[in-house]
Amino acid sequence: MLADLRQRAILAQLRQQGSVAVTGLAQHFTVSEMTIRRDLLELESTGLLARIHGGAVAAPGLAIDAEEPDFDIRLRHQRAAKEAVAAAAFGLITPHTRTVAIDVGATLFLLALHLRSRTGLSVFTNSLRAAASLSEAGQEVFVPGGRVRANEMAIVGAGAVQAFEKLWFDIAFIGASGLTAEGLFDYSVEDTEIKQVYLRRSAQKILVCDASKFQRMSLVHVAAFSEIDALVTDAPPPPPITAALHEAGVAVHVACETEVLKAGEAR
C-alpha cells in the first residue's frame, strides 16, 4: 500500500476508534513498526493527530464528528456567518456565468436564495430544497434522477452521478462538514460522490463554508485542496490549513472583507 493510502486508512481508524496503536497498525498493514512511526510523524506534522507512547490520538483542537446534525440545526448554527459567506460566494458569479452547480448543505441553501434574483442562469443541483426555492422564483433549475436522502433532501445514487457526469458547469459551489490540512471532509459517502462530480465537471470550483468547520473531520475525505480553486469563509483559517491552501494555490475570500487573501499572505 502506498504511504498516502496507508495514512488515509490510519486516519479513518483514528476517526472510528479515537486512538491507534503502532503495533496494531503494523500488523494490520503488514509493514514494520518503524514505517508506522514515520507515518504518524508525518501526520502529526500536518496537525491531524498527536503522537503518544505506543500510538496516536486526535490532535488537540481537532474535532472528529461521527454523526450528521439535522439540517435545521445546521442552518441555525452560525447563521450570521453562513449568511455572510453565502453573499460573498454569490459575488463570485460573473456576468458571463451561465451554468452553476450547487451542492447540498445549509450555507449552499442560503446561496441558492441569492440566486433567486439572478437572471440568465441555468442552475444544476442535487438539493431538493435549493431546487424548490429556485423554481418558485422562476429560475431554470435542473435536478438529476436518483434516490432522495432523507433529512438532507439530497438526490444521490448512481443515476444522479451519471446524469451530472455528462455535463459541464461554469462554476460549482461545494460544501463540506469539515476542513483540515488534508482537505475537505463530509458525513455522507453518497453526497461525496456528487461533490466529486461537481469538482470534475466544473471550470471553477469554490468551497463554501463558515469558520466553525476548521479543524474538523468526519467520515469521508472528499478531496484535497489541490482540487479546488477558492475557499469562501468568514475568517482566516488556522495556520495548518492556511499553509495547505497556500501550497495548493487556493485563493481565500473572507466574507465582509473587500480584499481577496491568498492563503499564507499577511493580512
Grid cell locating 181: 490540512
| Vertex 139 angle, CA 138 and 140, to 5° | 125
Q: How far apart are CA 143 and CA 108, in angstroms?
A: 15
The hierarchical CATH code for the domain 3-60 is 1.10.10.10
Return the closest-CA partner of residue 53 out of 29, 84, 21, 100. 21
φ, ψ for residue 115, nearest 5 deg: -70, -15
**Domain-wise residue ranges, the chain:** 3-60, 71-262
CATH hierarchy code of domain 71-262:
3.40.50.1360
- What pLDDT score does 267 carry? 32
pLDDT recorded at residue 1: 66
| Predicted pLDDT of residue 43 | 86
The pLDDT score that the predictor gives to residue 3 is: 84
- Measured from the Cβ of residue 199, the count of other Cβ atoms closer than 10 Å reads 20
The bridge status of strand 169-174 relative to strand 202-208 is parallel
User: How much is the pLDDT for 266?
Assistant: 34
**Burial class, 251, CB count within 10 angstroms (exposed 0-12 / middle 13-18 / buried 19+):** middle
Rounded to whole angstroms, the Cα distance separating 205 from 200 reads 9
- pLDDT for the residue numbered 7: 87
Task: Please tell me the distance from the alpha carbon of residue 102 to that of residue 172, in angstroms, as a whole number.
Answer: 6
Q: In what order do the strands lie in the sheet with 183-186?
A: 178-180, 183-186, 220-223
- Dist. CA 177–CA 223, nearest whole Å: 12
Q: Mark the ranges of the chain whose per-residue pLDDT is less than 50.
A: 257-267
